[in-house]
Amino acid sequence: MTTTPLFQRRPIWIAATAVLLLGIATAWSLHHTAFAAKLDTATKVPAVQVTTVRVQQQNVQVYRAGIGAVSAMASVTVKARVDGQLDKVGFAEGQDVKAGQLLAQLDPRTLQAQLAQAQATRAKDQATLANARADLARYATLIAQDAATQQQVDTQKALVAQLEAAVQTDNAAVQYAEVQLSFTRIASPISGRVGARLVDPGNIVHATDTTGLVVINQIDPIAVQFTLPEEAVQDIHRAQDTSKQPLGVVAYDRSGTELLGTGKLILLNNQIDTTTGTVQLKGSFANPSHSLWPGQFVNVRLQLGLRQNALTVPAAAVQRSQAGTYVWTVGDDSTVADTPVQVAQIADGVAVIAKGLNAGQRVVVDGQYKLKSGIGIIEPTQGSAAKTTGGSAQ
């Protein structure tokens, strides 16, 4: 029997061991690769369906928005200026009246008698004055003939002066009586619309009555009073300095959808209310159709100018966090990133971006709540761009 020496069998054993180890390593590598592929498949986040638009560049109306109330441009409570019985009224409740139109007539008989008495007194004093002047002329002739003394002439001159003063007093009394009599005819001081009649004919009215006869409100033109935050004052001043015309004011209904009128700014109050931190403003509106009515609450926009080539996105694209405002921007690889932006103003569904975006960038306007930085997105219609229009409030 032939026996293989030990030193000849060792290489065979080593080779077999190497082959076995290589097989084990290969099997482990294949298993690890398959496991990693399964794990990657299990943890991969699917793309999120969103809607995007592109940042647009356009001219945008800049304005400040506030809440206001409509008020009459002028409001007059018509009162009697003399005491007397109200004979008749010359208007119907709710009627439009013109300046100078007769509104009421008081019983004039008492004041007519007082006027006649003053005129009679003046006539008597005028006759006495004429006689005194004739006597003075005669005294002047007599003194030239040494038939009268200088004292008589001086006395007569004094009498003439006294009677002239009396006639002047009579003239004033007549004028006063005429004015008092004119107060029995009460005319409208302004054009406007009368309200409810506060006194009926037959009643005695007095100059001291507080209620008056009727209230007249001037409603064409009409005024809108509103307030803005104190920080708007500097913007308003800058807009007024650059504009040759009064700043425009636009009034909408409470919902902000129906345009009620356009007017102009006529008042920026000369001080800020320290209790509310606001400043009062007033606009004047032509109101021929009476779409604005005293006491009505409206949404007001004070137009400050036009922002040229502003970068705009739909307001829905702007998100807010503790760090500030941001939008989700879409990269060329269809992944998103949260991009901080500085918003100049938002109104009418349009946000004006002052910093953070460029024209043409894609931003997400719907589906943001599912997004995280780096995640992929898909769209129902790729490449669509929503149109953004309208003004903006500063």
* Domain residue extents for the chain: 49-60+309-393, 65-72+215-308, 80-102+189-212, 108-183
282 CB-near residues (< 8 Å, 6+ apart): 223, 224, 225, 226, 265, 266, 267
In tens, the pLDDT along 298-346 reads 999 999 888 888 899 999 999 998 889 999 999 988 899 999 999 888 8
d(CA 202, CA 200): 6
In tens, the pLDDT along 199-250 reads 999 999 999 999 999 999 999 999 999 999 999 999 899 999 988 899 999 9
Is residue 64 a contact partner of residue 304, using CB atoms and an 8 Å limit?
yes
Is residue 160 a contact partner of residue 132, using CB atoms and an 8 Å limit?
yes
d(CA 176, CA 183): 11
108 CB-near residues (< 8 Å, 6+ apart): 84, 181, 184, 185
3-17, 18-32, 248-262: the lowest-pLDDT one: 3-17
What pairing do the DSSP bridges indicate for beta strands 324-330 and 362-366? antiparallel
Mean pLDDT of the chain: 86
d(CA 378, CA 360): 18
What is the pLDDT at residue 393? 53
Greatest CA separation for the chain? 205
60 burial via Cβ count (<10 Å: 0-12, 13-18, 19+): buried
In tens, the pLDDT along 74-123 reads 999 999 999 999 999 999 999 999 999 999 999 999 999 999 999 999 99
What pairing do the DSSP bridges indicate for beta strands 278-285 and 102-106? unpaired
HSE-CB for 143 with a 13 A CA cutoff: 13
| SS3 (DSSP) at 46 | coil
d(CA 107, CA 87): 6
* CA 125 to chain centroid: 63
How large is the average pLDDT for residues 156-165? 94
d(CA 212, CA 186): 12
CATH number of 65-72+215-308: 2.40.30.170
> Which tokens is 107 given?
């019983």
Third-level CATH fold of 108-183? Helix Hairpins (1.10.287)
Which residue bears the tokens 């009579």?
170
Q: Please, which pLDDT band fits residue 7 given cuts at 50, 70 and 90?
A: very low
Is residue 155 a contact partner of residue 164, using CB atoms and an 8 Å limit?
no
pLDDT above 60: residue 356: yes
* CA 118 to chain centroid: 55
How large is the average pLDDT for residues 61-80? 93
What is the pLDDT at residue 109? 95
> Which tokens is 96 given?
């439009």
pLDDT above 60: residue 179: yes
* CA 121 to chain centroid: 60
How large is the average pLDDT for residues 2-26? 57
276 CB-near residues (< 8 Å, 6+ apart): 227
pLDDT above 90: residue 129: yes
User: Nearest CA to 240 among 298, 300, 281?
Assistant: 281
| SS3 (DSSP) at 206 | coil
d(CA 140, CA 293): 75
Quick check: bond before 221 cis, omega within 30?
yes
Q: Please, which pLDDT band fits residue 61 given cuts at 50, 70 and 90?
A: confident
d(CA 213, CA 199): 5
How would CATH label the architecture of 49-60+309-393?
Answer: Beta Barrel (2.40)
166 CB-near residues (< 8 Å, 6+ apart): 125, 128, 129
